Amino acid sequence: MHLIDIGANLTHSSFQHDIGQVLQRARAQGVDQLVITGASREGSPQALELARRHPGLYATAGVHPHHATEYDGETDALLRELVAAPEVRAVGETGLDYHRDLSPRATQQFAFEQQLQIALDCGKPLFLHQRDAHDDFMSILKPVRDKLAAVVVHCFTGTRAELFDYLDIDCHIGITGWICDERRGTHLREIVGNIPANRLMIETDSPYLLPRNVKPMPSHRRNEPMYLAHICEEVARDRREDTAVTAAATTATAKAFFGI
Ligand SMILES: [Zn+2]
């Protein structure tokens, strides 16, 4: 089995001491290509650094809505420089997050629009985040969708109606271990089968979102790319297909999306 984790926050400090072992464990589970999420002014150059240091790793470059207040002219220039690197395969993580509202909404919208412009200018795919902000997200994205390259709504946790809104404007969908969460992810089990195989990708969002039903449960509770194999199995079950089918399809879709 060969899997691609399209969203791993390996620049997170919890990976600093054992990144080599983390990647080795991932490879042992078939997870041999990863896209490291760049989510801040500090983290995006680090994601590129990691991608340059380890074979099979790629990066995105962006500023997450949580960090939108750091989006200024200098940040914009930095991101434009980063996205020119061949290892950087998408613009983002960007989007809107009204769930935690860590940055003012108007500031989030500004940073989102600026990064959409970068994607329009460089022609690379977009890696998007949306939580509790579907309507504003759609009204910013939809008018420019046709001029953009591929777009993924990563860590999709929304409703069936939201899912179809994204599929209607030809977005890809990233599914994480959220689907394993018996408290808040069960609705995803019913709708994941509606995602066409050529629009579905899987991701861990490590170190966040450790699937709540992995066995044995690691004592540190840190999510790692190796658990993508578990997420793939869960998604396959919900789609009523063999794990090998889901694995092959999500990998092919990720390869086409990121050009890897
Ligand atoms: Zn996210």
Residue type at position 15: F
SS3 4: strand
Cβ–Cβ under 8 Å, residues 92 and 115: yes
213 CA → ligand 1 middle, Å: 21
93 CA → ligand 1 middle, Å: 7
127 CA → ligand 1 middle, Å: 9
Residues of the chain scoring pLDDT < 70? none
Tell me whether residue 190 is exposed, middle or buried, using C-beta atoms within 10 angstroms of its C-beta: 0 to 12, 13 to 18, 19 or more.
Answer: exposed
2 CA → ligand 1 middle, Å: 24
86 CA → ligand 1 middle, Å: 23
Q: Tell me how far the alpha carbon of residue 157 is from its chain's centroid.
A: 12
What is the predicted pLDDT for the residue at 218?
A: 87
Residue type at position 6: I
Gap between the Cα atoms of 54 and 23, Å rounded = 9
What is the predicted pLDDT for the residue at 219?
A: 83
Gap between the Cα atoms of 222 and 103, Å rounded = 26
What is the predicted pLDDT for the residue at 41?
A: 97
Gap between the Cα atoms of 200 and 186, Å rounded = 18
60 CA → ligand 1 middle, Å: 12
Sequence-distant (6+) residues with CB within 8 A of 82 are 38, 44, 45, 48, 61, 88
111 CA → ligand 1 middle, Å: 15
173 CA → ligand 1 middle, Å: 12
Residue 27 DSSP symbol: H
155 CA → ligand 1 middle, Å: 6
Gap between the Cα atoms of 131 and 134, Å rounded = 7
H or E stretch at 28? helix 19-28
33 CA → ligand 1 middle, Å: 19
Gap between the Cα atoms of 108 and 128, Å rounded = 13
Considering the chain, what is the average pLDDT of its residues?
97
